[in-house]
Amino acid sequence: MTTLDMPTTKPITRPKSRFTLKTEAERFALVGAWLLLIMIFGTLMPDSFLSWRSFSTLFGSQAVLVVLTLAIIIPLTSGDFDLSGASTLTMSSMLIAVLNVKLGWPIVPVMLIALASGLIIGAVNAFFVLYFRIHSLIVTLGVGTFVNGLILWVSNSQTISGVSMGLVQWVIINRFLGIPLAFFYALILAGVIWYALEFTIPGRKLLFVGRGREVSRLNGIDVDRVRATSFVLSGLISAFAGMLYAGMTGSADPLSGLNLLLPAFAAAFLGATTISPGRFNAFGAVISVYFLVTGITGLTMLGADAYVQNLFYGGALVIAVSLSQLVRNRQPQDFS
């Protein structure tokens, strides 16, 4: 047999593994930074900062911020902003306080009404954005401001306390491993959103629309329906955050919930740089919230002034957006 008659064999090549040190370092860099932050503050304040009581308080008290961040990443994933999330949260908590405390309604139907208010606000956002083709930034800012006026009207600009202990008990009093149940509600919600985006057709459509609306439309996806659904879900989850807020404080304040909007957006964009770099993701958002809050808590325990919180969150938002753009190779994001 000559060399021409010899059967030729192609060299066996192994498929390239998606696991590389660089990609994994990008995915978990923020987790490492969070652990480093804990080590630094733990070294400076070993008795107070490293106690389990301190961590359980940290995890439980920030559940409301986690849920609000999870709410706004849904429209962000589809390429839209929802600046009315904090207003929806405050409206939900205020409805619970007014109906339960002032009017004496049972807590369960009041909670359902509060959640329904979130659905309505989300539907209003979707209507004006999609029917009139107005930028989501303008619509949600206007709707949020309108809702703030309604909150001041129904509350008479006063804090209302005395929310049913049944709600308070199932939000913050009852604990698992010493951590309030509110934290685990937020974790479960993050798991549901992660599963939906990774393994369900509606979730993949949401991601696809966020990557390119015209391409999605040409592929037969009802882009307007996907975007409308994202606004409605954002409103619903924001209202759920308001329910947790009312249960955590036992009251409703017409203004305090509004302070959560900037931290939520900072965490959302910072979360886009971790776990699944380059896109908004649920567990990245959760980690980002606790990274930011750990920094604020540590600085506060060291005696930092109150203005440091604004400096930290404002700087974190700008840095987070910049980092998320670097992860995307500075590709412009379509928020039109």
Number of domains composing the chain: 1
327 part of a folded domain? no
- Is residue 250 domain-resident? yes
pTM for this entry = 0.89
Burial label, 284 (beta-carbon count in 10 A; 0-12, 13-18, 19+): buried
Q: Judge whether 157 lies within some domain.
A: yes
Asked if residue 266 belongs to a domain, the reply is no
Strand partners, 163: none
In this prediction, residue 230 carries a pLDDT of: 97
Q: Are 65 and 224 in contact (CB under 8 A)?
A: no
H, E, C per residue of the chain:
CCCCCCCCCCCCCCCCCCCCHHHHHHHHHHHHHHHHHHHHHHHHCCCCCCCHHHHHHHHHHCHHHHHHHHHHHHHHHCCCCCCCHHHHHHHHHHHHHHHHHHCCCCHHHHHHHHHHHHHHHHHHHHHHHHHCCCCHHHHHHHHHHHHHHHHHHHHCCCCEECCCHHHHHHHHHCEECCEEHHHHHHHHHHHHHHHHHHHCHHHHHHHHHHHCHHHHHHCCCCHHHHHHHHHHHHHHHHHHHHHHHHHHHCEECCCHHHHHHHHHHHHHHHHCCCCCCCCCCHHHHHHHHHHHHHHHHHHHHCCCCCHHHHHHHHHHHHHHHHHHHHHCCCCCCCCC
Query: Which of 269, 276, 249 minimizes the C-alpha distance to 94?
Result: 249
- pLDDT, residue 240, reads 98
Tokens encoding 329: 């190779």
- Whose structure tokens read 């480093």? 36
The answer to whether residue 287 sits within a structural domain is: no
In a domain, 325, yes or no: no
Only one residue has tokens 């849904």, namely 74
Quick one: pLDDT at residue 311?
81
Q: Max Cα separation, the chain? A: 99
pLDDT at 329: 60
- The pLDDT averaged over each successive group of 10 residues in the chain (336 residues) is 43 50 77 88 86 88 95 96 96 96 96 97 98 95 96 94 94 92 96 96 94 92 96 98 95 90 91 86 94 87 79 78 65 54
Do the beta carbons of residue 160 and residue 98 sit within 8 Å?
Answer: yes
Find the domain containing 222 and state its range.
Answer: 49-255
Q: How far apart are CA 277 and CA 318, in angstroms?
A: 17
The whole-number pLDDT of residue 331 equals 56
CA distance 205 to 225: 10
What does the pLDDT read at residue 327? 64
CA 96/CA 90 separation, integer angstroms: 10
Q: Is residue 69 part of a domain?
A: yes
Whole-number Å distance between alpha carbons of 334 and 332: 6
Domain assignment present for residue 54? The answer is yes
